[in-house]
Structure 1
Amino acid sequence: MAHIDLGVDETQFPGITGPMVYRPETGKPLNELAEVLLRGQPHPLTPGERELIAAYVSGLNECTFCCSSHSAFAAAQLPTGMELVDQVRGDVDGAPVTPKLRALLHIAGAVQESGRKVTPDLIAAAREEGASDLEIHDTVLIAAAFCMYNRYVDGLATFAPSDQESYTASARRIVAQGYSLP
């Protein structure tokens, strides 16, 4: 049970959706930010790659709901699905991703620890692999935003479903409709 009464059935509005329904005036801009960062087009990174960054950071933050949901969202939009998500989360250096995406994931991991951990060497490595300023910017912002989203979800002790089907169903909705308040 959440630390506060969200005024909703948490099983129907799990994770971040409960607090967003509870306070739609803050939920709306948070959803709009997620929509722009994770699905906005045109963008050199695919929505699946951007969701993978969100899932990776959420895993590092040990946020069950966000990691599970964004892993499902990434898997639904990546050619090799959950297999790739699991490989990245288990061993980013050994995962079969492009060198550019690996370099961006290293930046995201640094942001998760502290923004000050993003070094000129990490930026140079990403640029050497072809990352643009937009990709670097958005990777940092996705990682920073998901540190906030993760802390929002866990700080209120929201409900996280234990069954994978809940996340898979949400993934179908996100892929089809995007991020909007329920």
Structure 2
Amino acid sequence: MSNEPDDVINDDVINKRVGNVDGREPQLAAAGMRIRRAEARDIPQLHKLLREVLEVHHRGRPDLFNTGVTKYTDDELTGIVSNDETPVFGAFADDDETLYGYAFCVFERHADSHILTDITTLYIDDICVDEAARGRRVGTALYRHVLDFARGAGCYNVTLNVWSCNPGAQAFYERMGLKPYKVGMEQIL
């Protein structure tokens, strides 16, 4: 998200974002799991899951996605998890140490657009569930948490992109009730 004035959201909305949904304690998501904002201490586990996502995309589109790299540096991740404009939620085991999955989010607004209405959107940049935790409804709990958070922050909608080379993710998002609102297309030359 850039620092342009049309991306700035008023202080009332920002104040709602601090902490978890409506400022409450971390939610109990399912037996043996809690969802809370990710913190700097979670960065090593975030890197592990970010690499899992990259490998999924690399397998699907090796012409576009590298392998064996990290999406962010430690400093970049520190900035992301500490910024209320880019909340990151983690699904953790009851020990509050083991990360089962995450949702990286970004607030978007086009306040001065001539063609887009002035709404606040919570864009989900990335959702990942650790391969070892699949089938435990971690993704469902994370997505529902993001929806509650977005409602509490006064968002109009939640959006995300899904790569066509990841049909499992697309099926999951459809089960969660998401519907396409735009389609990206390409022609390889």
Bin for the TM-score computed over the shorter chain: under 0.3
Normalized per residue, the structure richer in strand is: 2
Which of structures 1 and 2 has the larger relative contact order (alpha carbons within 8 angstroms, sep 6+)? 1
Structure of greater Rg: 2
State the TM-score, normalized to the length of structure 2.
Answer: 0.26
State the TM-score, normalized to the length of structure 1.
Answer: 0.27
